[in-house]
Structure formats: structure tokens, C-alpha cells
Structure 1
């Protein structure tokens, strides 16, 4: 029987030993980033952009792992591993706080209660205007999510954070000052030490955001039962590694404390139970998602409980 554990909110068991596969992964990601930025001129431009996007998106998956209490039993060490701002735009403490809120499964997809919801309330939808609604509808297709989706996500997030900083939300200014120091260090390394043009590094960032938007595109869909709001994407070996098997998303929500390298085996053992519990919301790889939704909306952008 697959049950939930106290790790649903990232709780760390005091007896947890160091998870060396995740430590090695962190070394590979950050070592790969240093190597790529140092030798970027040796690569074709398109290869550099894809590799840079992959590594930054991979680090985002690592940050997600860290948020849930990996790879050590000391969260300060874990947070240090996850705090390097390669993506530039997302402060790790804000990501950690909002993602743990997202794990309140009874509120999944709710645009007010779930900070990772892609749905709109009726009031917000009306405020978008004709152009905004057109872009929002485009963003509900996979093509739109991969092209304008990163820009929509970044501008929306930075706009909201700007309001909180101006309102002097407790602790927000400190978070952004510390984050800004980290961003300055990353950009100094990439642009001054390694001689990389800023536009190229920003290309890495946008590509990584598009890869992340692919992962999150069909992760959740509104259903009356919150158990049926979380999807599974099977048979995705390449992207599964990039996303650290977070594509087996219903298992992650049921057991968020499971380490990434254990997820596939646990999923295979419990597949029947998991598919039954989420109402059969299963995709056969990301090509299946592209086939269904590349130019078609995944869902209505307005949430049915806020219409």
C-alpha cells in the first residue's frame, strides 16, 4: 500500500544518511556549468545554447530535490547546494516557500491557493483585456508554452515580486539583495572571466525556462477530486533524467520524500495503484503530449470554481 508520509512538506528524517547519487549529480551539474561557460567558444552556438539550457534546467530539478530534504539530513547544507542562482530570475528561498505551499494537494490548481497554478480567476481573466486573453489562450497550447511561456512566467513573477518589494513585505528585500549578489557573481564569471556575451547567457536562461515549462505543462489539470489533478508521463527516459523523474508526478505528490533515483523503481512497483488513484491521467511520453496539445489548449484557462 502506497501511503503518504510526513515528508509531504519537505520534512527531513533525522536519521537520513547522505545520498551520494544526488551529491554526485550536483557536482556534475555545477562542474558541467563551469566547463561549458569556460569553453563555450569551442562549441557551435546552437549546441552551447542547448547545453546551457539543459544544465540550468537540470539545476532547477536539483533545487526541487533539495527543497524536499535531499541529499543530507542537514537542511542548511541542502539549501547551500540549491542556492546558486544559475537561472538568474528565481531566488531559491522564494522557490522553496512557494513549492511547499503547492504540496497542499487539496488546493492543487486553485489560482488563489496554489502558487504553481496556471489557471485564472474570472476577475483576473476579465482584467487581461483582449490581447492578454489571446496570449493566455496561446499559452495553454504546448507551442505557446514553449515559446511565449517562459516570458509570461518571468514577467509575471518579477512583476509580483516587485509589488512585494515595494510594499516592504517582511524579509523580501533581504532575499532579493542576497540573490542579487549571487546573480552578480554568476554573471561576472560568465561574462567577464569567460568572455561570454550577456545575450548568450540569457539565451541559456530562456532555453532552460522552456524546458521547465515542458515538464510543468501537463502536470496538473483540474478535477473534482484532488487525487485526479496530477498526471503521470511515462516512457520518457531523456526528459525523465532532466526532470529527475518528476514526470512521474503523482508519485512525487504522494511520496515527496522519495529520492529521484528511486522514483522509477517505486513507480513500477506501484503503477496500478497510482494510475487508479489519479483516474488514469497518464501520457505516453512528451511526444504524446505534443501530439495532443501542440496547437490545441490543454484546458480552459479559467478555473471552474472561480468563474
Structure 2
């Protein structure tokens, strides 16, 4: 399916790319300065006693979650087209748990829309295959059910995601696949240096930053993906349009307009709302009505303790994908 609806749509998007804002990427540069400056500034204020620890903690949680959204923009080619420059801009381990290189590689694999949501293929799938589900102990099934609720995702989402990453890393090492070992060594070294520096600079212990700052930041970041994709017969119907409010849009850098992002992954975050607005009805039709008009507040009210859908993927394991059979 085309990323553009027609020539007029394509020309409108090209004009955005060619605009001064699109060419200079000044909003993304400003965002980088704001997030890094906010992080260092918060720690500096804490160190001088200008703000108290609870206030600093809340600010750091939001800034670290926001930083993960910035990393998402960097891996998609913003604000520069240089992979190396963007990697340098996003390599700092402020959020601790995900090395930039690993996030970049796995997320770009996720953008193969024909494989979206397929467990074992899409690295960001929130589903499991029926045969794996049948072999799971009951406590593991409970965790999967919990992760598909808003409250459960906040609590068990980060540890499940981190455990899955380390499990996959161990599997690679056992298979003598050592390509990511240098990355992990560099990331671990940077995390260690950062935690020691924070402790000596402002007196915040490493355990506090890990458990009280970075862990909740992961939870906040994972709210966005609670119901970002669903199991559906066609690829575009698997991608949500979440009409979130301005604060959440800013936190997630408009990635709530997720179908627009998947259709146009090179489109800068600050152009997503305009592109969605110019073809709102068409985008809603394209995703098969997979739309959340009330934003994340609606998701909280509907799915605080109720799963968004089943953990078992209804199409995984079939001889051919439903979309292929329909063509």
C-alpha cells in the first residue's frame, strides 16, 4: 500500500521536507538542547539545594522518558542524515537500560510493516504464539495478561522488557554471535561512569537513579506502546491513530499518530500533526478505524486493569499471512 494517498498528498509532504524548518531541523536541535540541558540542569539544581529530591526525581523521570523519544527521532535520520552523528547525539545512557545501537537495529526491523505484531519476527511484538503460550507456567501467563493493562504495563512492563533483552543477548552469546558484545561493554562502561558521577556530584546513589528514576521513566515511555499495534489481517490496520492531548504528544514527539509515522518514517516529528490533519479521514479509513479519540486518558479509563486484547496472536503460525491471501 502506498505511503501517499495521491500526488497532491505527496507534493504537500515534499513541501514540508523542503521548508526552512524541514531543511534546518531546528525544532529537533532545540529539543536536544532542552532535554540534555534539562537533565544536567536538574542535577545541578539538586546539587546546590535549589530544588528538593522529590521534585528533581519527577523532572528526571520525565526527561529520561522524553530522551527515549528523542533517540527514536535520531535513529530515523533526524536532525542529520549521518548515522554516525545521530548515534553520537543519542549514545548517552541517560535512560540506562537500552543501548542506542540495539534500539536502532531492532526498531528499524520493526518497521517492516508486513511483519508487524508477528511474535518472533517483529522485535516489538506484544503477542506470543499459541504453542509458546501453551507451554508457559501460569505465573508467566499472568505477567503477559498484566502487561496488556495500563497499570500492569507500568509495573511489570519494564522488567519484562529488560529481561527479554538480556535473555536474547545470552542466547546470541551461546550461539557464538558476539556482534553486540562491544556495544554492551561500551554501554555498561558509560552507565557505570554516569552513575558514579551523579553520586559524587549530587549525592544521588546509583540504586536510586536505577530504581526510582530510570525504572519509572521506562514505565512512562511504555505507556505509548500499550495499544500502539493490534493483531489484524492487514498491515495498516495494525497501526493506531491516537489523538492524544498536547502534553502527551510532546512527550512522545507526535508518535501517537503512529500510522502516519509508519507510512512516512522519514517525516520529522513536528510535521506529523499537519500531515495527519490534511488527510485525517483517509488515515482513519486506512487503519480500519483503529483510532483512540480520547488519547491516553481513554486508554487508562478503558484498560487500567483490563487487557487491551489477548496475548496469543490469532494469525501467527498460519501457512500464509492473512494479508497475502487477500491480495
Among candidates 246, 249, 263, match of residue 240 of structure 1: 249
Q: Which residue of 2 aligns with 1:176?
A: 184
Cα distance in 1 for partners of 2:24, 2:244 equals 29
Q: Distance in 1 between matches of 2:197 and 2:174?
A: 30
Aligned residue in 2 for 1:212: 221
Question: Helix, strand or coil for the counterpart of 2:242?
Answer: strand
* SS of match in other structure, 1:304: coil
Indicate the residue corresponding to 2:267 in structure 1: 258
When normalised by structure 2's length, the TM-score is 0.86
The counterpart of 1:54, out of the listed 59, 62, 66, is 62
Once the two structures are overlaid, the 10-residue window that deviates more, 65-74 or 150-159, is 150-159
* 8 Å contact kept, 2:195–2:205: no
State the 1:56 CA deviation. Answer: 0.8
Cα distance in 2 for residues equivalent to 1:180 and 1:240: 31
Contact residue 18 and residue 73 of structure 1 kept, 8 A: no
2:39 is aligned with 1:29: no
3-state DSSP class of the match of 1:246?
A: coil
- C-alpha separation in 1, matches of 2:200 and 2:136: 40
Q: 1:165–1:86: structure 2 CA closer, same or farther, 3 Å change rule?
A: farther
Alignment of 1:15-26 (within 5 A): 17-26=23-32
Match of 2:165 in 1: 157
CA contact 2:244–2:256 (8 Å) conserved in 1:
no
Q: How does 1:1-307 map to 2 (within 5 A)?
A: 3=4, 17-40=23-46, 42-202=50-210, 203-283=212-292, 284-306=294-316
For the Cα contact (< 8 Å) 1:53–1:205, is it kept in 2? yes
Give ranges in structure 2 of 5+ residues lacking alignment. Answer: 11-17, 318-327
TM-score, normalization: structure 1? 0.91
8 A contact 2:119–2:126 mirrored in 1:
yes
| C-alpha separation in 1, matches of 2:135 and 2:182 | 31
CA displacement 1:83-106 (0-9 Å, x = unmatched): 111111111111000000000001
Decide which structure has the larger Cα Rg and report it: 2
User: Does structure 2 retain, via aligned residues, the 8 Å contact 1:17–1:72?
Assistant: no
- Stretches of structure 1 lacking an aligned partner (at least 5 in a row): 6-12
Whether the 8 Å CA contact 1:2–1:270 is kept in 2: the answer is: no
Offset at 1:42? 4.0
Matched residues in 1 for 2:197 and 2:265: separation?
34
Count of matched residue pairs: 299
Partner of 2:323: none
Cα distance in structure 2, aligned partners of 1:158 and 1:90:
10
- Separation of aligned partners in 2, 1:39 and 1:189: 15
How many angstroms apart in 2 are the aligned matches of 1:183 and 1:160? 20
**Aligned alpha-carbon RMSD (Å):** 2.1
* More moved, 197-206 vs 104-113: 197-206
Assess if the C-alpha contact under 8 Å between 1:37 and 1:196 holds in 2: no
Q: Is the 8 A contact 1:150 1:206 kept in 2?
A: yes
Does the 8 A contact of 2:64 with 2:95 survive in 1?
Answer: yes
